[in-house]
Structure 1
Amino acid sequence: MKIHTLLFASFAIALSCTNTTKDKVIVTPTSLTSKVVFDDVGIGKAEHILFQANKLVVTKNLPEELILVYDLASSSRTTMGQYGDGPGEIRNPWSLQKSKEPDQVWVASIGQKMLSKFNIASGDRLAEEQIKLKGEATVIMEPLALNDSLLIGSSLDGKSIFTVFNREGEIIERLGDWSEKTEFGEYPAHVVSALYEGRLRTNGNQVLYSCIALDRFMLLDLVKMEMEEFQGPFHIQPEFGTVPDRGVSVFAPSPDTKFGFIDSFLSDDYVYLLYSGLSPKEITQTGKMANDLLVYDLKGNLVHHFLLDVSLKAFSIDENTNTIYGLTSYVNDDAKVVQFEF
């Protein structure tokens, strides 16, 4: 059963939240060897990748090439996205999300506070549909479309873990409370939310929240309205403090703090998490970002640990062929699209 509008009509029951620490399960890492699929990503920082309808969609920060679409059958390469603020135009595309239609994808543009839907089969550079975040929804990060009328995201204001809102920017419901998370000390909710900052993904029935500065992730069940938090195997201890900013204490990470899950993918049955374990300084010095891909079931059990022979900054999954597609972490703008079979 897919989520629908009536699910959020009344919210008569409160969101149930639990923290789950699984017994340590030893999973022997499996080494995977990469194969270069496309080496013409070109200049401009490639940010995210998505497998959809036997195509690979890549977002970049280059006005002339904002969105690349690679057809795996023909090996052709199409450029989409018209730079600007006009109708159908986009600037600085960021995260990617599948649409319910196989030939369409949602692209989030953080700077514009907007979601844009592109038809990757048509080759049209302009978006077919755009949703502009308005009102209270302008503080939403990583917005995801749940259906034709509702969206969900995480809030910069720290008022809730998840925020459900409509296309008019009206807040429908706030889910989860950051103030309950006191493991790393007593801090204001907006500081805790910054510590837990993460990526959001959805499969229609669940929403995955994977933390960037911690090896932790949360799963929100949209049908049962239950949320569970799971601890990863590396147990990152974040190094951070607070600094005053216009009379307010704000989150201040140490340059030595390690990155946790820098990218994620949620299928109907599994959670895939790309783990870094490196500090910003180490990433700058080595050019590497992440070589560990962890796979969990939806109950939080670790089932696979893949060691990748090249470092990635983003990835996507084709479960029908057991293939991982990744963007290599770039040095001097030499990002490539690679694949691993598992």
Structure 2
Amino acid sequence: MNAVGDFLIISENRRNDPTYPLIRIFRKSPLSYFSSKGKPGFGPLEIPSATLVESGPNDSTFTVYSGMSKTLTDFSLADTSLLGINQYKQPEGLYEVYKMFHATDSTMLGIKSIDENRLVEISLKDGKRIAGYGKWEKIPNADHLIDYSDPIVNFHLGQINKGWFKANRKEGLFVTAGVYRDRIEIFDYNNKKFTVVEGPRLDLPKFEIVPSGANSVVIFDIENKYGHRDIYIDDKYIYDLYGGFNEEEIFENNVVAKTIYILTHSGDVVGMLHLDISIRGLVVDTSLKKIYGITTDKDPGIAVFDLPDEFL
């Protein structure tokens, strides 16, 4: 779930009926269905999945990254076509980058599946690496994961720190929030510095490294509770949707997340909101004084909450 101007952009599961569009668009106020986009497929201007959504080249467009087809597709809010209006293939140098947003008009900033850096910046023109930001840090009580020159160790560290990745290009902020490990990393592209926020749980989740083919993977204990579930960044705050439920609780109660932590751009926690229903996905609009989320019940819809005045 993301926002572009006056609209909410919601990505559908690619495993749904293949005749259904992959993107639903709703007006924020009054909350109402607006249109659908994203014809499923691998043809010109089609998308087989909607992995990430960001604002487009102008106020009436948005861009969708498809991890399946390795494409970036621009869509228009001004037409009724399911197809995109512009599409370009992910350069070969970006193929290992599985989550990414525009840092500039000509570069992408994202997360690689195996890399010594937490974030990498790559040219859209030729796919060449421009820079890497943030070396992996030692994980407490994980002495077997200290050889950062070993690609498989970097792969394991990426899996342990895996989570949500969101950006606000206008503010120059790129935020990663761990779904397994309670850790938020705020990267300020303007000064190329990270701010790390640990918690609320400080313990490392239980995991083991098991063989998988020629390599090995990180497997987490099924009883572990998930941590951060989404992030939204506006011009003043970072809104962190937090879970705290494991697979069994989610399956039995349809509950994913009911807590929102509010942080400054420098990582200070200044507030916490308790929701009366569970949501996944998070968008905040301070001009409307509203928080939007997708409910997690058997018949999901869009929930709207009032944003307290102290955070406007």
Shift of 1:206: 1.7
CA separation of 1:313 and 1:184: change in aligned 2, threshold 3 A: farther
Match of 2:234 among 267, 270, 291: 267
Tell me which residue corresponds to 1:21. none
Q: Residue 142 of structure 1 aligns to which amino acid in structure 2?
A: K
Please give the per-residue CA displacement for 1:120-149, whole angstroms capped at 9, x wherever unaligned: 232321112223223231111211112221
Tell me which residue corresponds to 1:112. 69
Tell me which residue corresponds to 1:51. 3
Matched, 1:162 2:119: yes
Q: Residue 193 of structure 1 aligns to which amino acid in structure 2?
A: G
Counting only pairs closer than 5 Å after superposition, residues 68-217 of structure 1 correspond to structure 2 as 68-73=24-29, 75-99=32-56, 101-167=58-124, 168-178=126-136, 180-186=137-143, 187=145, 188-204=153-169, 205-217=172-184
Distance 1:158 1:184 in 2: 22
TM-score normalised over the length of structure 1: 0.80
Q: Residue 329 of structure 1 aligns to which amino acid in structure 2?
A: T
Q: Residue 296 of structure 2 aligns to which amino acid in structure 1?
A: S
- C-alpha contact (below 8 Å) 2:209/2:219 kept by paired residues: yes
Mean CA deviation greater in 215-224 or 113-122: 113-122
Aligned residues: 291
TM-score normalised over the length of structure 2: 0.88
- C-alpha contact (below 8 Å) 1:264/1:273 kept by paired residues: yes
Shift of 1:184: 4.2
Distance 1:249 1:208 in 2: 27
CA separation of 1:184 and 1:276: change in aligned 2, threshold 3 A: farther
Q: Residue 162 of structure 2 aligns to which amino acid in structure 1?
A: E
Structure 2 residue ranges without an equivalent (≥5) = 146-152, 308-312
Q: 3-state DSSP class of the match of 2:273?
A: strand
CA separation of 1:192 and 1:341: change in aligned 2, threshold 3 A: same
CA separation of 1:236 and 1:122: change in aligned 2, threshold 3 A: farther
Distance 2:11 2:276 in 1: 23
Q: Residue 85 of structure 1 aligns to which amino acid in structure 2?
A: F
Q: 3-state DSSP class of the match of 2:223?
A: coil
Shift of 1:114: 2.4
Q: 3-state DSSP class of the match of 2:249?
A: helix
Matched, 1:309 2:276: yes
Match of 1:297 among 254, 264, 267: 264
Shift of 1:166: 1.6
Aligned-pair Cα RMSD in Å = 1.7
Distance 1:270 1:326 in 2: 17
Shift of 1:100: 5.0
Shift of 1:81: 1.0
CA separation of 1:236 and 1:100: change in aligned 2, threshold 3 A: farther
Shift of 1:73: 4.7
- C-alpha contact (below 8 Å) 1:236/1:260 kept by paired residues: no
Runs of 4+ with deviation above 4 angstroms: none
Please give the per-residue CA displacement for 1:206-245, whole angstroms capped at 9, x wherever unaligned: 2111111122111111121111211132335311110012
- C-alpha contact (below 8 Å) 2:179/2:227 kept by paired residues: yes
Q: 3-state DSSP class of the match of 2:157?
A: helix
Q: 3-state DSSP class of the match of 1:161?
A: strand
Please give the per-residue CA displacement for 1:228-264, whole angstroms capped at 9, x wherever unaligned: 2111323353111100123323211111112111111
Please give the per-residue CA displacement for 1:161-214, whole angstroms capped at 9, x wherever unaligned: 001112232222221222x23224132121111010122222221211111112
Tell me which residue corresponds to 1:67. 23
- C-alpha contact (below 8 Å) 1:215/1:261 kept by paired residues: yes
- C-alpha contact (below 8 Å) 1:113/1:138 kept by paired residues: yes
Structure 1 residue ranges without an equivalent (≥5) = 1-48
Distance 2:218 2:49 in 1: 25
Distance 2:286 2:266 in 1: 19
Which of the pair has the greater relative contact order for Cα pairs under 8 Å at 6+ separation?
Answer: 1
Distance 2:49 2:135 in 1: 31
Q: 3-state DSSP class of the match of 2:64?
A: strand
Q: Residue 104 of structure 2 aligns to which amino acid in structure 1?
A: N
- C-alpha contact (below 8 Å) 1:215/1:275 kept by paired residues: no
- C-alpha contact (below 8 Å) 2:258/2:274 kept by paired residues: yes
- C-alpha contact (below 8 Å) 2:55/2:61 kept by paired residues: yes
CA separation of 1:114 and 1:257: change in aligned 2, threshold 3 A: farther
CA separation of 1:151 and 1:337: change in aligned 2, threshold 3 A: same
